[in-house]
Structure 1
C-alpha cells in the first residue's frame, strides 16, 4: 500500500463532510497539535458568526474521527454534537 501524504496547506482547501449525515461542515481554519507527541489532535473549523462584535464559536473535530482524506474532501464521522462541538479555542 502506497503512503498518502498531504500538506497542511493543501488540507485547508479541502471541504470537511460528515459521512453519517452528508452535511458539509466547512473548511479547516487551523489545527490543534500535541507538541509532546508530535501529532495533530484535532481540526479547527470556523463556526457561525453570531454578530459583528461577538467572537465566533469554532468547531473542533478530533483527528480520530477522520475516516478518509481524499484529493479534495475530508470525510469525518461525527456521531453527535459532542464530536463536532463549539469551542473557544
Structure 2
C-alpha cells in the first residue's frame, strides 16, 4: 500500500465509533525506518490565516485493522471536537 492509498482512508476509533479524520502523513523511526505514527493534521483556523490546531499522532501499535475504506484504531488520544457552526443568515 502506498502513502497515497493510505491517505484515502478514514480513521475510526473502535471504542467511540467516531471518525477522527483522514490520514495526512506518517512518521518513521530514523534508525530502523519503521513506521511510528500516522498523522492527522489539525483543523485550519479561519481558513488557515490563524494557523491550525495541533496535529494528532496515532501510534502504529494502536492500529487494529486496515480495511478497504477505513483504518480502525483503539487509542486513548483525544481528538478535538469540531465546533458546530450556526447557519449563516442575511
**Which TM-score tier does this pair reach, normalised by the shorter chain?**
0.7 to 0.9
Task: Report the RMSD for the aligned CA atoms in angstroms.
Answer: 1.8
The structure 2 residue matched to 1:64, chosen from 61, 64, 72, is 61
Q: With structure 2 as the length reference, what TM-score do the two structures score?
A: 0.76
4+ runs deviating over 6 angstroms = none
Larger radius of gyration: 2
Alignment of 1:1-89 (within 5 A): 6-51=1-46, 52-81=49-78
Superimposed CA distance per residue, residues 8-35 of structure 1 (whole angstroms, 9 cap, x where no aligned partner) = 2101100000010000000111111112
5+ unaligned residues in a row in structure 2: which ranges?
81-90
**1:80–1:74 CA distance, 2 compared to 1 (3 A):** same
5+ unaligned residues in a row in structure 1: which ranges?
1-5
Q: With structure 1 as the length reference, what TM-score do the two structures score?
A: 0.76
Mapped partners of 1:29, 1:35: distance in 2: 19
**1:19–1:58 CA distance, 2 compared to 1 (3 A):** same
| Larger strand share, 1 or 2 | 1
Q: For residue 78 of structure 1, report the CA deviation from its aligned partner.
A: 1.4
**Secondary structure of 1:74's aligned partner:** strand
